[in-house]
A and B are shown apart, each in its own frame.
Chain A
Amino acid sequence: MDVRDLVGEAVAGMLARPVRSALTTLGTVLGITTLVVTLGVAATAGNQIVGRFDELVATAITVEVPETEHVPLVEWDAIDRLTRLRGVVSAAALAEGKDGANLPVRSNDLVDPARVTTQSLSVLAASTGLPEALRGRMVRGRFYDAGHVRRGDRVAVIGDQAARLLGVTRLDPAPAIFINGHAYTVIGVLGDLRRERNLGSAVIVPPTAGRRFGLRQVSRVLVNTDLGAAALITRQAPAALSPGNGDMLQVVAPPSPTRARDQAQEDVNALFLILGLVSLLVGAVGIANVTLVTVMERVAEIGLRRSLGAARRHIAAQFLLESTLIGLTGGVIGASVGVVAVVAVSAAKQWTPLLDARLAIAAPVAGALVGLLAGLYPAMRAARMEPADALR
């Protein structure tokens, strides 16, 4: 039998009952649409999550510095060596009290018995690059500079939450705060932290001033790298910070960006994939059902074809091809509707639609496969009919 004849017969069989064929494709259309939409939206949404992951996590490195008896492992000026490395965007060294030890801080020296003005806040010393290292900004005023540090000026920068707690709203009268009873001038308020947000309630002083509170040794270094440079900097940072003793430092590297992406996408995809596959299964059962009904209705036609010389495999091939074409049609329609839906959802969410071209090709193929599988049993039933019985 010529393949063109086979295709012609299958197409004619499908078009003989156009409404039924259209309704039969519906299940597959639904299934494929669900699959394409869910995979497409998952990929698109996954991409959005990754976008944030990349920016926030994938470039943040923290170096933990253990405390030593005499010579500190990391000197304050070692930060300069670190920032000179290619791929380092910003870095800052911090000296923090043990266990986040807090100190009493109040905003003026008048003790009002009516309200508690003394707050217990964490006090830390930091190098001048801290605002950038925390990916924050100066909400008010400015951060101290190398001059303040060199001169040992008694200046402080406070986090925005600390400012609220202490009632520091304006900087023009050069407000003073008292840390453990020592007066400091507040020159800036640091806020909008996108890293180490808890430092919003901290009081930050220059390293030279921090000695008074026992903040001598650098305890942590915060580093931000270019996207993709994290792995390299993770290897290079210890030696840059502490030549000769780099192996004593502990580097907390970000999770690898690819892993972050895979994880995010896998979680979403697995759920949606199951949903789409269930829809496809429903579509397959629909096709199988209708094809079986069609076979039973066309018993006489099967008998006629056998009388005209059709072998069992010709009958099987025709019904298989008919159900495959129905599945394929459903797949093509479903893929089209799905792509439109993904674009629409992305537009509504202001996302960049991310559609794998392979998905647009695989969807119709999947539809055809569903039709093929669904047609197996009905086709077998049709082929097994005895021609004499079919013509009775």
Chain B
Amino acid sequence: MPDQVTERPVAGRPIDTRPVIELADVCRDFPSQPPVRALSHVSLRVGRGDYLAIVGPSGSGKSTLLNVLGLLDRPTSGHYRLDGTETTTLREKHRTRLRGQRIGFVFQSFHLLPHRSVVENVMLAEIYTGQPRAGRRGRALAALERVGLTHRVDFRPGRLSGGERQRAAIARALLGNPSLLLCDEPTGNLDSRNTEAVLGLFDELRAQGMTIVVITHEQEVSTRAGRRVRITDGTLLEE
């Protein structure tokens, strides 16, 4: 299956035909007792606008792969280019900045701050990226509009349904127009109706040219993605 590069502009950024993700022969060893090779010679290209599902049983290395892709962890060997930038040799400072600017994370447990309103939670995504404070609330409101949550702007997360919480988290991930949406079991805590709502949202974002990588073990989720890879004992296999 060839890499499919969708040449659709992402708002505010010129058309870029480079792959978003280029993993080349990546290994990740944990020096535990006994040592664990969580990723074994993984190579992966994800083009702009791709919608990729990573599936695999528990303990197969999905989270480790996501951490590497999200610049939360460094591979033991191999190379990782994000938007054409070689990241394995970057200093921590630059990796942190790149993470804040290029990657939007979506977690299974949402990670919304319970004492902040929905819009404040979304605005949080800008405070570490060097974005000016002016217009921040407006940009956060626009992101909330993209996920269809304009009616919940000033709610505390505790008063939202699970699906609404995940949509708020997705709005936060979208703020700042990341190159990549990295989702770790995004529907793991949702019922089927809310799962459908979030998947519908992913479809929309995908249609707008967003690059999405979803870790999941739910058939329902993986079949919606345009492309699936399976990981078993740290080894990646295209399906």
Which of A's residues lie within 8 Å of B, judged by CB?
A: 1-2, 4-5, 9, 12, 15-16, 300-301, 303-311, 314, 386-388, 391-392
Interface centre among A2, A9, A304, A309 (most CB of B within 10 A): A309
Q: Report A-chain residues with C-beta under 8 Å of the C-beta of B72.
A: 306-307, 386-388, 391
Cα–Cα distance between A5 and B97 once the two chains are bound (Å): 17
Q: Report A-chain residues with C-beta under 8 Å of the C-beta of B172.
A: 308
Which B residue sits closest to A9, measured CB to CB? Answer: B127
Asked if residues B115 and A300 are in contact (CB atoms below 8 Å), the reply is no
Cα–Cα distance between A391 and B184 once the two chains are bound (Å): 11
Asked if residues A388 and B67 are in contact (CB atoms below 8 Å), the reply is yes
- 9 A-B residue pairs with Cβ-Cβ distance under 8 Å, sorted by A, are A2-B133, A5-B133, A15-B115, A304-B105, A304-B111, A305-B124, A308-B105, A311-B92, A391-B72
Give B60-103 as 1s and 0s: 1 = Cβ < 8 Å from A's Cβ atoms.
00010001001011000000000000000000110011011101
Chain A nearest Cβ from B87, distance in angstroms:
14
Asked if residues A303 and B93 are in contact (CB atoms below 8 Å), the reply is no
Q: Report B-chain residues with C-beta under 8 Å of the C-beta of A308.
A: 100, 105, 124-125, 127-129, 172
Q: Classify the secondary structure of A's interface with B.
A: helix
Asked if residues A311 and B96 are in contact (CB atoms below 8 Å), the reply is yes
Q: B109 touches which one: A1, A4, A300 (CB < 8 A)?
A: A300
Q: Report A-chain residues with C-beta under 8 Å of the C-beta of B124.
A: 305, 308
Q: Report A-chain residues with C-beta under 8 Å of the C-beta of B107.
A: 304, 391
Asked if residues B109 and A16 are in contact (CB atoms below 8 Å), the reply is no
Give the size of the chain B interface in residues (CB under 8 angstroms): 29
Asked if residues B133 and A310 are in contact (CB atoms below 8 Å), the reply is no
Which A residue sits closest to B64, measured CB to CB? Answer: A388
Chain B nearest Cβ from A195, distance in angstroms:
71
Q: Report B-chain residues with C-beta under 8 Å of the C-beta of A387.
A: 72
Asked if residues A12 and B111 are in contact (CB atoms below 8 Å), the reply is no
Q: Is B116 an interface residue (CB 8 A)?
A: yes
Cα–Cα distance between A307 and B111 once the two chains are bound (Å): 11
Cα–Cα distance between A341 and B224 once the two chains are bound (Å): 70
Q: Report A-chain residues with C-beta under 8 Å of the C-beta of B92.
A: 311
Q: Is B15 an interface residue (CB 8 A)?
A: no
Asked if residues B128 and A311 are in contact (CB atoms below 8 Å), the reply is yes
Q: Is B11 an interface residue (CB 8 A)?
A: no
Q: Report B-chain residues with C-beta under 8 Å of the C-beta of A314.
A: 128
Q: A2 touches which one: B105, B115, B127 (CB < 8 A)?
A: B127
Cα–Cα distance between A5 and B127 once the two chains are bound (Å): 7
Complex interface residues of chain B between 160 and 204 (CB less than 8 A to chain A)? 172
Asked if residues A300 and B111 are in contact (CB atoms below 8 Å), the reply is yes
Q: Is B36 an interface residue (CB 8 A)?
A: no
Interface centre among A301, A303, A308 (most CB of B within 10 A): A308
Q: Is B207 an interface residue (CB 8 A)?
A: no
Asked if residues B127 and A12 are in contact (CB atoms below 8 Å), the reply is no
Q: Report A-chain residues with C-beta under 8 Å of the C-beta of B109.
A: 300
Which B residue sits closest to A8, measured CB to CB? Answer: B127
Asked if residues A16 and B73 are in contact (CB atoms below 8 Å), the reply is no
Q: A307 touches which one: B63, B93, B97, B105 (CB < 8 A)?
A: B105
Give B136-179 as 1s and 0s: 1 = Cβ < 8 Å from A's Cβ atoms.
00000000000000000000000000000000000010000000
